Structure 1
Amino acid sequence: MLSDGEAAELLSFLTPSTRPDVKAKATEYILGLSASREGCCFLRSKPDMVGALFALTSDPSVAIAKDCYHILINLSADETLHQVLVSAVEVLPVLLKKLLDPDYLFSDQISTILSNLTRHEKTCRTVFKEDVGLDKLVEIFCTEGFNAKAKLHYLGPLLSNLTQLPEARNTLMDKDRCVFQRLLPFTQYQASVVRRGGVVGTLRNCCFDHTHHLWLLSDAVDILPFLLLPLAGPEELTEEENDGLPVDLQYLPEDKKREEDPDIRKMLLEALLLLTATKAGRKALKDKKVYPIMREFHRWETDVHVAAACEKLIQVLIGEEPEPGMENLMEVQIPEDVEKKLKEMDAREQEELENEERRRCEEES
């Protein structure tokens, strides 16, 4: 790794006035550095260097700016660098402003950086508090060709990450704004598994809020067909089963294909399972004949983890109703001693991870 003197010399090359060829060599070197854990550990202790690289994302040279963005993507993928990026370098206001520019060349890179930064709750909350403008993000995401120079697929995972937060979910599911409904068609978006998976993750996260279940299942949203259609195949159902299904799932063609990505299939099943947490939700899924779709899906599914998620849902759909007082599965109280043990286990695991990370950085420095 670089000595302090070598690091200072490298930093001196990262200025707007440096000759372009020297600047390019410096950013190219740091790009290689940022691709390794050791390099990220080194850069974590050099916020001035990270700040200089961030400033060079506005360099007149497209190649230099692109290298700097790729460095930031690598750094943002390392959770231990999040505070350097958001607090020391203060990247968020600039990145969010540029993302809203329909002519900006590097909006895909910005989407990826923001998606990385919002994977973990602490930084996710920081991004949301930056006045991320959730309505505006959805508008950009749903407007085809908003930016002719960027595909913006990674806005999908960004939305999914943001909806870890209850306040983000509440904003998205505001009944007076009709924002949530704009996302629904993207469960069938074939051009990008990243975009499709991001939307399904967003819908799944929103299903955690059982107070919105009736609204999600109502005609105002009608979420059920959008969750079921990717899981439905070409198998023939009985006339009675077809007649009970939502119209979009009745008498599907022989060439009907299911969602090909197992992670997305699992998230769709998790969303459906969350909707069965309340008595009204269970009744809605049973009345809409979800079971025959799941029965045929289970016969088709080969991934053991997805099949297990399907089995959980089937058990709820064909099982007996819970005892009185247990109807809302999301409100069932965990015994205090069990909850305490679970929290202690989580804290121990987190401490072990942090200690391991510190040891690794000390060995590498």
Structure 2
Amino acid sequence: MRTELEELVGLVADPKPEVRGIAAEHLVPYSISQPGIFKVDKLGPVKNLKLLVRDHPKIAEHIVTILINLSADREVLESLATDDKFLSEVFRQVVNPSEPNANLLSMLLANLAKWDSLKRVLELKQSPPEELKSNDMIMNQLLDLFVKGADGTYNKNADFDHLAYLFADLTKHAEVRHHFVRKQDYDGVIPLTKLKVFTEHKSDVRRKGVASTIKNVAFDVPSHPLFMSEDDIDILPYILLPIMGNEEYDEEDSMAMLPDLQLLAPDKQRDTDPAIIQTHVETLLLLTSSREARERMREVKVYPLIRETHLRVQNEGIQEACERLVQVLMREEEQPNPEAPVKELTNGDGEEDDDEDVVEV
């Protein structure tokens, strides 16, 4: 005999919208406390939930919330992330400028990126809304959505901050990293430059996801000249500013720093999240793989900045990362040996950043 809770799960697929709505609303807490009830009959309830993301917006709000929570389960995650028809509907809805559940859909996508096969988003296409002014690649649409939706002018119901976590997980894959450093034909822009401007954004979620994305893309060693070039990605000011406070530096050091780092306001504060600061320092460490980058960092006085960060932020992870970076910047360069093999970055030099744990609502 079915329990009352099992019967409630079954009512999610009821033909009457009022019944579906009440059932979905009451099932939201159980998607965290008793996720197993949605996995009966070979994930039958999950199959119904996937169809209902296109239901009436209020019902869909509860449905997507349930799916966000259930995606913490690997079996459910696989069912969602490998279903092309379901993904197509989620991608179609999230870019719709009038979609009321766009933020929830962004959270769901961030969780789905935990499944490695979602990297195939690079191959997926759909017609973009005219308001988005993007091309037909879904990856580029998501990037443009993240930028244009930040201030609520694209969709008044959403800020799309959680797409930053999506990008962070996707850039664990080499092919996605390559995309982020290649100028796109439709707008002539390198995708990573669209994200770098958010390293000091007010949203903790957006800053953290962007910081992790930048670090992950920095594992693409051949792109490091683009990272350092002022005419291309020009990443240094965007990862140095968040780790700077209002410290005063010797005039000689200050004048040699990047222009964006000079004459900062007296109330300038470094990022309040230690994890973000550590991520940026680790990105700098990754970029020191080339002599040109090391010399550039010395030239613009990165060492004094890192020294002050190490002194003022009492966090073991940050201090360890700062010490490793200082060791690289302060050592003397050996004369180049043209016959010496080129050192490749490996996981011994650092690990790609995941976004945060699976989002729950």
Over 3 Å counting, the alpha-carbon distance change for 1:278 and 1:304 in structure 2 is same
> Does structure 2 conserve the Cα–Cα contact (< 8 Å) formed by 1:278 and 1:328?
no
Structure 2: give runs of 5+ residues left out of the alignment. 126-136, 349-361
Instruction: Specify which of 253, 258, 268 is matched with residue 270 of structure 2.
Output: 258
For residues 61 and 229 of structure 2, what CA distance do their matches in structure 1 show? 46
**Are 2:56 and 1:75 equivalent residues in the alignment?**
no
Structure 1: 5+ residue runs without aligned partners? 335-365
Is the contact made by 1:30 and 1:71 (CA closer than 8 Å) also made in structure 2? yes
Once the 2 structures are TM-superposed, how far is the Cα of residue 19 of structure 1 from its aligned partner?
5.7
Residues in 2 aligned to 1:225 and 1:197: alpha-carbon distance in whole angstroms: 17
Conserved 8 A contact 1:187-1:200: yes
TM-superposed CA distance for 1:139, in Å, is 1.1
Structure-1 separation of matches of 2:253 and 2:198: 26
For 1:302, the equivalent position in structure 2 comes to 314
Write the distance in 2 (CA, Å) between the matches of 1:73 and 1:332.
33
The alignment yields a C-alpha RMSD, in angstroms, of 2.6
CA 1:160/1:87 → structure 2, altered by over 3 Å: closer, same or farther? closer
CA distance in 2, matches of 1:223, 1:199: 12
1:100-158 per-residue CA deviation (whole Å, 9 max, x = no partner) reads 101001110110001011134x2432444444622221111111321111111111111
- Selected match of 2:20 from 15, 19, 23: 23
TM-score under structure 2 length normalisation: 0.82
Matches within 5 A, 1:87-102: 87=82, 90-102=85-97
Range moving further from structure 2, 64-73 or 314-323: 314-323
- AA aligned opposite 2:291: K
Taking a change above 3 Å as real, the CA distance of residues 12 and 79 of structure 1, as seen in their structure-2 partners, is: closer
Equivalent pairs, count: 326
Aligned pair partner of 1:13 in 3, 11, 14: 11
1:69-101: CA deviation from partner (whole Å, max 9, x where unpaired) = 110110123333211213368421110111110
User: Alpha-carbon deviation of 1:180?
Assistant: 2.2
The answer for the alignment partner of 1:338 in structure 2 is none
CA contact (8 A) 1:24 1:64 kept: yes
Distance 2:17 2:250 in 1: 73
CA distance in structure 2 between the partners assigned to 1:14 and 1:100 by the alignment: 26
Q: What CA distance in whole angstroms lies between the structure 1 residues aligned with 2:122 and 2:3?
A: 38
Distance, in Å, in 2 between the alignment partners of 1:321 and 1:216 is 21
**Conserved? CA contact 1:128–1:162, under 8 Å:** no
Q: Does 1:52 align with 2:57?
A: no
Contact 2:199 2:242 in 1 (8 A): yes
Aligned with 2:143 (options 138, 143, 157): 138
Instruction: Please state which structure has a larger fraction of its residues in helix.
Output: 1
3-state SS, counterpart of residue 199 of structure 2: helix
Say whether residues 1:203 and 2:199 are aligned partners. no
Give the secondary-structure state (helix, strand or coil) at the position aligned to 1:150: coil
Residue type of the partner of 2:118?
A: C
User: d(CA) in 2 for partners of 1:254 and 1:90?
Assistant: 53
Write the deviation string for residues 147-177 of structure 1: whole angstroms up to 9, x where unpaired: 1111111111111111111111211211353
Matched residue, 1:149: 157
| Compared CA separation, residues 235 and 68, structure 1 to 2 (3 A) | same
* Alpha-carbon shift at residue 331 of structure 1 (Å): 5.0
Kindly provide the CA deviation profile for residues 284-330 of structure 1, in whole angstroms up to 9, marking residues without a partner as x: 21122100100111111111111111111111111233685778543
Change (3 A) 1:133 1:24: closer
Task: Report the Cα distance in structure 1 between the residues aligned to 2:346 and 2:97, rounded to whole angstroms.
Answer: 47
1:40, distance to aligned residue in structure 2 (A): 2.5
In structure 2, what residue type is equivalent to 1:307?
Q
TM-score under structure 1 length normalisation: 0.81
Any idea what the Cα deviations from partners look like across 1:44-66, whole Å, max 9, x if unmatched? 34422112123233333x44222
- Contact 1:231–1:258 at 8 Å: present in 2 too? yes
Contact 1:233 / 1:252 at 8 angstroms: preserved in 2?
A: no
